[in-house]
Structures are given as C-alpha cells and as structure tokens.
A = this chain, B = another copy of it.
C-alpha cells in the first residue's frame, strides 16, 4: 500500500471529489462544510499523507507563526535555560522559534536591520540584550511585538529578576553571618554597550555595606567579563592588592564564583573556613560544588517570556510596554558560607 503523497491541497480536493475551496474549509474553517464532506476531505488528506504548507497558508492568511529569539550567547548556561523555557511554551502554542545569535554590536546592527524589515516573525524575544528606541520603533512598525527576557525595559513587556534584590539577598546573608570585609566580582558584557553598566547587583553590594556602616573599598571590587577564568584572575588581583584578606566574596554569578573558587583553593584558602563565597543563579554546578547562592529559575523565566509573547500576539492589553514580571529568587544556603 504505497499510497502516494499529496503535495498540494488541489490533489487532495481532486481525490476527495470536492473543490479546492471546500477542501480548504474542511481543513480549517470547519464551518460551511457538511460533516459528510468534511470527513471525505479529512480521509483523503490522511490517505494521501497530506499536510498543509504552513508557508502558503500564512502567505494567504497574512500571519507568520514564528517568533525570533535573540541571544548574545547561545552556549552559556543562562541562555540555554532561557531558550529552553521559551521553546517549551512556544512549541506548545504551535509557534516556531527562530534562533538568532547576536554577539557583538555589529551583529546586533545587522540583525535589527535585516530581520525586522523582513517581516519573518510575529514577535521577537530579546534575551539579556538591549533594543534602542529606534530599533523598537522599526520592529513595531512592521507589527512585530517585542518581549524582553532577562532584562528590564520601559518600552516593552519583560520578565527578569530583581537584580538589586538578588544582590541584597546575597549581601545580607554574608553580613548577617558577620562578614564585614566583603569582596565583589562583578560581571559585565563588553559586547552589550547598551546594557546598564552598573547593575542592580553592584548597587546592592554598595548599599548593603553602607547600611551596615561600611564604605565600599574599591580594592575589593573587580568588574570582569562573565566567565570563570576572568573571575579567577580577578580573585587573584583582589588577594594581591590588599593586605587584609577579605572574609567573604560576593560574585555576580555562580560561574564567576567557580572561578574565584579555583583561585582560593590554589592559594590554599579554604572555603568556608577561611573565606566565604556566594554567587547568584543556582547553576547546576553550584550544587556540586556546595556553593551558597541566590537561586533563580531561568527556564521558568523563559517560559514566562513565552507566555508574554502569546499574550502580545493575542493582542491582550496585559502585555503592554513596561508591564513586567519579576521572577522569584531565593537564597540557597550551602556550605560555602559560614559565620566569620
């Protein structure tokens, strides 16, 4: 029974003995076609192993059924989690996800100059990545909704954590353990010039200290590109540049903490006996390395972003500019921190 495959609706219609339009209706509308003929068409379609060409369908219908997801780094944990969450809800909604890697400023320019005008997508999700007013305007002009994930925005709906709160959770934890001399390794992305240079996490560090009556010591602070090795170097610098070793280190992310951890171990400093260490993320390796951290569910944030897309496409008012979701965070105490 090698039943041939139908490549077009026309073939199915002919096979079913109805007109093209009726066949189309049977497959979609479901109205204006009798149950009997619908069955006939459906049977024919199944017989011929036919499925509509979504492209032609959309061309005629005028919608895309696709959403772009733009990430600055595909390979990092955070972005993988995010994409995974987004994919989950988009695929459930039968939307296709087109992945775009936009590394540096050049890429970004290129991407925004091309995709938008190409009207290939109904929406674009930008992950931890800024879109300026002009680009936003262009995108909206062609009817593409914008959603931000992993970063706040006044111009479009977003989902992210409260970076300041996350920082405070970490810092307050250290302070409550009695730590006073606390170093910080801050993460930054040189390729994202538009991104707020000083994140809420840094602000949290400074304010938490000041509220405890401590003036932040610049020699205890380093700003590095995300990545464990950079943090490892920063940790060395910090240890070298100060006479009095800090009793705790707050890093902007777990991956930075891992790097710091390496340096500490190499220097013979035990964690947490000699020095406490805390990160942010709850990266899977954090559990393995017993790192105390501020947990966030990135995959779930991705899912939330996906839901924002769905709402925006449905034209619901709830997905308007500035409407954001703040994802929950939570201190996860492991054995990398202890009383001073």
Contacts and interface: CB of A to CB of B under 8 A. Distances in A.
Interface of A: 5, 49-56, 58-59, 64, 69, 73-77, 79-81, 83-84, 87-88, 91, 96-101, 114, 117-120, 141-142, 227-229, 232, 258-259, 261-262, 284-285, 287-290, 299
B290 A262 contact: yes
B53 A55 contact: no
A83 B83 CA distance: 12
Given A76-B80, A80-B80, A229 B87 contact: no
Contacts of A98: 96-99
Contacts of A51: 114, 117-119
Which 4 interchain pairs have the tightest Cβ spacing?
Answer: A51-B117, A74-B84, A75-B80, A80-B80
Contact of A77 (B75, B96, B141, B262): B75
Copy tally for this chain in the complex stands at 2
Given A88-B101, A96-B120, A118-B54, A288 B76 contact: no
A289 B289 CA distance: 10
A9 to B, nearest CB: 13
A5 B141 contact: yes
Given A5-B141, A75-B84, A77-B80, 10 more contacts: A50-B117, A51-B119, A53-B118, A75-B299, A77-B77, A96-B120, A227-B284, A228-B284, A258-B289, A261-B288
A97 B58 CA distance: 19
A265 B56 CA distance: 60
A5 B262 CA distance: 55
A222 B229 CA distance: 32
A74 B88 CA distance: 10
Contacts of A76: 80
Contacts of A100: 87, 91
